[in-house]
Amino acid sequence: MKKFCFFMILVCLSLASFLVSAESQTCPADLEGKCSDSDDWQGEFFPGIPQIKYEGPSSKNPLAYRWYNAEEEILGRKMKDWFRFSVAFWHTFRGTGGDPFGAATKYWPWEDGTNSVSMAKRRMRANFEFLKKLGVDWWCFHDRDIAPDGNTLEESNKNLDEVIELAKELQKGSKIRPLWGTAQLFLHPRYMHGGATSSEVGVYAYAAAQVKKAMEVTHYLGGENYVFWGGREGYQTLLNTDMERELDHMARFFEAAVAYKKKIGFNGTLLIEPKPQEPTKHQYDWDAATAANFLRKYGLFDEFKLNIECNHATLSGHTCHHELETARINGLLGNIDANTGDAQTGWDTDQFLTDVGEATMVMMSVIKNGGIAPGGFNFDAKLRRESTDVEDLFIAHISGMDTVARGLRNAAKMLEDGRLSELVGKRYSSWNSELGKQIEEGKADFEYLEKKAKEFGEPKVASAKQELAEMIFQSAM
């Protein structure tokens, strides 16, 4: 009986997968499978979608920008240069809508249900059409998103080379380049204990070989940055972990990456992307301050910057604004993975940023930083599981771009208005005194301060004016 039940489950599962693959097609839906014989189909992937244009705030067209006007100058710089928007290949072209409880919900018409090299090439063509229609010049990738893993390192590299050659050809005559590339060191079971921090030396070597290749191809495509996100660089329990040794290994790994970057003449910025946990219980690049301390300890401070992701910020108990400011005041703000989390959900939901207040604070940091080039705004964000139309991919990016564009306009308005910086200046005005100057210049020891305290008597303490600060902030929205 048990055997029969198991057999029936198998039958049902294969029937279900047949139904699923019967739904997927190999070229756009409106061609009704006419291009299904071609391995490397080269038609239009988004036939119903026009070039996305700026139509202004009153437009009701979901396939138009309301706030993002690429060529318009804000604070002396074109909007497109403030943002340097990028599409994340892994979410937009590899996201399936699957979650730990449910199967994939997205069956893009160009997918044939395989992870073949020809499918990878078709996706790459779709990526370039998507970027062009959106008017975005950058995209980001992991090595294994864009090309299938092989049985050996050599085979994986060969697959990658084939897809990279196509990307090189497709970017000809356009400004499209990778904003950054990275190596996927978290999906394959070999990385279950980490890559650079694995307890197995062979895994460390394999991870190094993978990063070496990913850096080479990023450089070959004219990529501007290279990212390290250590999703499995951390621990599940300290009882079985030599944390000091693992952190030393991670530093050696980064040193080798710096040396190799210089050797191949890659001038892109190396970026560490902090995240506190998920998938690992504790990740070593917990937040911006932890990553900065790591870089300082190991003498790597001048070789790296940080890629701040807003949803990672909230997972570490901070706001995105806090993480951006921590990176900025340490001279480490290099790139933004522009997304947001869900206040009720509590994990890395990677949603498109749609909160104008949050976006305004993000842009306050970016303006103070003088921009983030050669970094940019990478939409490390995905459609919700229930959004399944091809046009949703466009709508989501347009909405995310418009949100930060509104943020930029608001932040600029606030700067020109001047009341907020006046409030902050006033709050610290006691520090403009002679004593304040002496302290800030390191010329006031404890004995001198005690003398001053006695001289002044009980100090006056002024209001922090938090509500007024919020009122001014609101009036710029």
- Among the listed ranges 141-149, 319-327, 331-339, 467-475, the one in contact with Co ion (CB under 5 A) is 331-339
- Which of ligand XUL, Co ion, none does 276 bind, CB closer than 5 to 8 A by kind? none
Question: Exactly one of 111, 216, 285, 309 binds Co ion (CB under 5 A); which one?
Answer: 309
Q: What is the C-alpha to C-alpha distance for residues 283 and 279, in angstroms, rounded to an integer?
A: 9
Q: Least separation, in Å, of the C-beta of 458 and ligand XUL?
A: 50
Q: What are the residues whose beta carbons fall under 8 Å from the beta carbon of 40, sequence distance 6 or more?
A: 118, 121, 122
Where along the sequence are the contacts to ligand XUL (CB under 6 A)?
142, 182, 227, 229, 231, 273, 275, 309, 337, 348, 380
Whether residue 254 contacts residue 304, with contact meaning beta carbons closer than 8 Å, is answered with yes
- Among the listed ranges 243-251, 262-270, 301-309, 459-467, the one in contact with Co ion (CB under 5 A) is 301-309
- Which of Co ion, ligand XUL, none does 182 bind, CB closer than 5 to 8 A by kind? ligand XUL
- Which of ligand XUL, Co ion, none does 409 bind, CB closer than 5 to 8 A by kind? none
Q: Least separation, in Å, of the C-beta of 238 and ligand XUL?
A: 23
Q: Least separation, in Å, of the C-beta of 403 and ligand XUL?
A: 19
Q: Least separation, in Å, of the C-beta of 469 and Co ion?
A: 30
For the chain, the distance separating the N- and C-terminal CA atoms, rounded to the nearest angstrom, is 66
Q: Least separation, in Å, of the C-beta of 86 and ligand XUL?
A: 11
The candidate with the shortest Cα–Cα distance to 294, out of 226, 225, 246, is 246
Choice between 27 and 320, CB closer to ligand XUL: 320
Whether residue 224 contacts residue 272, with contact meaning beta carbons closer than 8 Å, is answered with no
Question: Exactly one of 137, 224, 380, 402 binds Co ion (CB under 5 A); which one?
Answer: 380
Choice between 28 and 181, CB closer to Co ion: 181
Choice between 109 and 276, CB closer to ligand XUL: 276
Q: Least separation, in Å, of the C-beta of 229 and ligand XUL?
A: 4
Q: What is the C-alpha to C-alpha distance for residues 52 and 49, in angstroms, rounded to an integer?
A: 8
Q: Does 337 bind Co ion (CB under 5 A)?
A: yes
- Among the listed ranges 37-45, 50-58, 380-388, 446-454, the one in contact with Co ion (CB under 5 A) is 380-388
Q: Does 285 bind Co ion (CB under 5 A)?
A: no
Q: What is the C-alpha to C-alpha distance for residues 276 and 284, in angstroms, rounded to an integer?
A: 7
Question: Angle, to 10 degrees, between the axis of helix 288-297 and the axis of helix 243-263?
Answer: 80
Whether residue 226 contacts residue 218, with contact meaning beta carbons closer than 8 Å, is answered with yes
Q: What are the residues whose beta carbons fall under 8 Å from the beta carbon of 313, sequence distance 6 or more?
A: 287, 319, 320, 322, 323
Number of residues that bind Co ion (CB under 5 A): 3
Residue 191 is given by DSSP the state G
Q: Least separation, in Å, of the C-beta of 70 and ligand XUL?
A: 24
- Among the listed ranges 23-31, 306-314, 317-325, 430-438, the one in contact with Co ion (CB under 5 A) is 306-314
322 is catalytic: no
**SS3 per-residue string spanning 346-382:** CCCCCECCCCHHHHHHHHHHHHHCCCCCCCCEEECCC
Q: What is the C-alpha to C-alpha distance for residues 365 and 120, in angstroms, rounded to an integer?
A: 37
Q: Partners of 307 in the beta sheet?
A: 335
- Which of Co ion, ligand XUL, none does 143 bind, CB closer than 5 to 8 A by kind? none
- Among the listed ranges 100-108, 232-240, 336-344, 441-449, the one in contact with Co ion (CB under 5 A) is 336-344
SS3 234: strand
Q: What is the C-alpha to C-alpha distance for residues 93 and 177, in angstroms, rounded to an integer?
A: 17
* DSSP string covering 47-77: TT----EE--TT---TTEESS--TT-EETTE
One of 91, 142, 312, 318 is an active-site residue; which one?
142
Q: Partners of 337 in the beta sheet?
A: 309, 378
Active site residues: 142
- Residues near Co ion (CB under 5 A) are 309, 337, 380
